[in-house]
């Protein structure tokens, strides 16, 4: 079988690796000038720069952990971000350190009582918007100090105008545990993600063509290969025939600074409206770097329109229904497998994309 894989991101790379290992021929086309999709890292001043935003690998799935460890060695990085709000730093995720910083509470009982007291402002009302939902979950102080303005920047709208379902859960920990993730395994691949994906694609039967857009030659690609794994946008594949699916976009601004340490942590969230960006990443801290210079990246939320980079699917009812219509078309195309975050119109963390790609490959290649 000769597979054409559209997109050299994580989904495409995992599928390619599995297909080549099973003896198939694989051609990957990628419209960007590099492999690895959004997990792409490049070396600047000896530092691995996460070009499309902070990427921290975490999973509790042992099979996925063993899988990635074939291609990279992972360091001991644990994500413990801080949030800057009105001139003060707070620990994330919300935990006993955060409560101490907010209220000087010492015991879990004191912190719980404070949150409970502040939740009462809703007087048992069912939350009708994101503001009420957040207050119902964590009370007024945490909402106003750490959630409100950040969320408004992310979505470009007041929290009162956003639906409550956007935040179903807001994890609150009554321990002094600053680890953002709950997973068993966590780390950053030493040498960067690009090197990890390069290793996945190192196989005689895998050919990668960069700067190659599927839509420049769609008709030929559809006829020249036995099967296509498509990890681009599913609505674009069908010429937006039902209309475009909605996304939120991001802009990244990278800067090299001639100092060795800018903020002392890999990720700091900027809550206040006065900062147009939501986060600053200092890349060297992902790998405990000791270089003389440092590289930082400011992350700006942005509206999305066709032609912009799509980052986050907007999972509201309108878009869910629209996606179902595209899915129905996809079901009829037996020779096309839609995969990854754009092909499946779903936000996936890296371990999830790997899980889904391994399962898809297993099902596809079992014969
Ligand atoms: P990806 O987008 O990576 O790959 C698809 C590829 O297809 C792209 O390279 C694209 O150029 C190419 N393509 C599209 N259309 C094409 C066409 N017409 N022709 C040719 N090529 C085409 N996860 C996590 O576990 N920990 C984290 O910390 C983060 N952090 C994070 C931050 C931000 C800002 C975002 C947006 C996302 C994360 N993630 C994450 C999620 C992570 O980025 C995600 O799981 C993977 O990138 C998904 O890989 P895919 O292969 O699905 O898509």
Residue 170 scores a pLDDT above 70: yes
Residues 325-351 have pLDDT tens digits of 999 999 999 999 999 999 999 999 999
In the chain, the percentage of residues whose pLDDT exceeds 70 is: 100
ipTM of this complex: 0.99
What lies within 8 Å, CB to CB, of 102 at 6+ separation is 90, 141, 142, 145
| 210, 339: one domain | yes
Q: How far is ligand 1, taken at its centre, from the CA of residue 50, in Å?
A: 12
Q: Domain with 16 in it: what CATH number?
A: 3.40.50.720
**Ligand 1 atom 8: the closest Cα is on which residue?**
37
Mean pLDDT taken over the chain: 96
Tell me, yes or no, whether 131 and 61 share the same domain: no
Q: Tell me the C-alpha to C-alpha distance, in Å, between residue 188 and each of 79, 185, 217.
A: 10, 11, 37
Q: Which of 142, 99, 98, 152 is nearest to 278 (CA)?
A: 152
Among 105, 132, 167, give the residue marking a domain's end.
167
pLDDT above 70: residue 263 = yes
Give the tens place of pLDDT for each residue, 173-223: 999 999 999 999 999 999 999 999 999 999 999 999 999 999 999 999 999
Rounded to whole angstroms, the Cα distance separating 100 from 90 reads 9
Would 276 be classed as within a structural domain? no
- In this structure, the number of other CB atoms found within 10 A of the CB of residue 125 comes to 10
Answer whether residue 148 is part of any domain: yes
What tokens were used for 25? 């021929």
Does a structural domain hold residue 306?
no
> Rounded to an integer, what distance in angstroms lies between the CA atom of residue 5 and that of residue 11?
10
- Flag whether 203 is in a domain: yes
Q: Which residues of 276-294 are buried (b: 16+ CB within 10 A; e: fewer)?
A: ebbbbbbbbbbbebeeebb
87, 63: one domain:
no
Any catalytic annotation for residue 173? yes
Instruction: Spell out the SS3 assignment of 56-76.
Output: CEEECCHHHHHHHHCCCCECC
The whole-number pLDDT of residue 78 equals 98
Helix, strand, coil percentages for the chain (3-state, nearest 5): 40, 20, 40
Domain count, the chain: 2
Marked catalytic residue, from 143, 150, 279, 345 = 279
Q: By residue range, what is the domain housing residue 217?
A: 2-79+184-246+314-365
Q: How far apart are CA 254 and CA 37, in angstroms?
A: 18
Closest CA to 185 of 70, 78, 53, 81: 78
Burial of 230 (0-12, 13-18, 19+ CB in 10 A): buried
* 347 included as an active-site residue: yes
Best residue among 5, 8, 9 to mutate for probing ligand 1's pocket (most ligand atoms within 8 Å of CB) is 9
d(CA 3, CA 306): 28
Residues within a 6 A CB radius of ligand 1: 6-12, 29-32, 37-39, 53-57, 213-215, 231-232, 250, 311, 340-342, 348-351, 353
Are 231 and 88 within one domain?
no
Q: How far is the CA of 35 from the centre of ligand 1 (A)?
A: 11
Minimum-distance ligand 1 atom for the alpha carbon of 214:
19
Average pLDDT score over residue span 239-261: 97
* Residue 367 pLDDT exceeds 70: no
CB 327 within 8 A of CB 37: no
Q: Which of 141, 167, 193 is the last residue of a domain?
A: 167
Average pLDDT on 98-119 reads 97
Known catalytic residue at 279? yes
Same domain, 98 and 214: no
In a domain, 200, yes or no: yes
Index of the ligand 1 atom closest to the CA of residue 299: 34
Give catalytic status of residue 349 as yes or no: yes
CA 79 to chain centre: 14
Question: How far is C-alpha 229 from the geometric centre of its chain's CA atoms?
Answer: 21
Q: Which of 30, 299, 355, 364 is catalytic?
A: 299
Is the pLDDT score of 143 beyond 90? yes
Active-site option among 76, 169, 204, 366: 169
Assigned domain for 150 exists: yes
Q: What is the mean pLDDT of residues 294-302?
A: 97
């Amino acid at each position: 079988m000769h597979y054409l894989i559209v997109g050299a991101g994580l989904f495409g790379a995992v599928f390619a690796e599995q297909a080549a290992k099973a003896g198939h021929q694989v051609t990957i086309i990628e419209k960007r000038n590099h492999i690895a999709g959004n997990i792409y890292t490049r070396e600047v001043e000896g530092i691995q720069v996460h070009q499309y935003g902070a990427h921290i690998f975490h999973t509790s799935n042992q099979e996925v952990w063993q899988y990635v460890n074939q291609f990279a060695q992972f360091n001991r990085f644990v994500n413990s971000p801080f949030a800057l709000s009105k001139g003060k730093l707070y620990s994330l995720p919300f935990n006993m350190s955060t409560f101490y910083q907010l209220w000087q509470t010492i015991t879990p009982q004191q912190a719980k009582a404070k949150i409970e007291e502040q939740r009462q402002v809703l007087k048992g009302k069912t939350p009708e918007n994101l503001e009420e939902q957040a207050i119902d979950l964590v009370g007024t102080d945490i909402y106003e100090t750490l959630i409100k303005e950040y969320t408004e920047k992310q979505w470009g709208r007041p929290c009162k105008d956003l639906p409550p379902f956007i935040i179903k859960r807001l994890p609150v920990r009554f321990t002094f545990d600053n680890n953002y993730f709950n997973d068993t395994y966590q780390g950053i691949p030493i040498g960067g993600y690009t090197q990890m994906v390069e290793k996945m694609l190192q196989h005689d039967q895998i050919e990668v063509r960069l700067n190659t857009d599927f839509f420049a030659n769609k008709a030929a690609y559809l006829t020249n290969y036995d099967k296509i794994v498509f990890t681009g946008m599913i609505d674009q594949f069908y010429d937006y025939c039902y209309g475009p699916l909605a996304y939120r976009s991001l802009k990244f601004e990278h800067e090299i600074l001639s100092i060795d340490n800018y903020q002392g942590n890999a990720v700091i969230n900027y809550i206040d409206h006065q900062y147009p960006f939501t986060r600053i990443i200092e890349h060297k801290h992902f790998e405990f770097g000791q270089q003389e210079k440092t590289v930082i990246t400011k992350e700006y939320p942005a509206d999305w329109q066709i032609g912009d980079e799509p980052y986050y699917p907007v999972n509201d009812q309108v878009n869910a229904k629209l996606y179902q219509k595209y899915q129905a078309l996809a079901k009829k195309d037996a020779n096309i497998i839609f995969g990854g975050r754009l092909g499946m119109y779903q936000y996936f963390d890296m371990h999830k994309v790997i899980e889904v790609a391994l399962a898809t490959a297993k099902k596809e290649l079992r014969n």
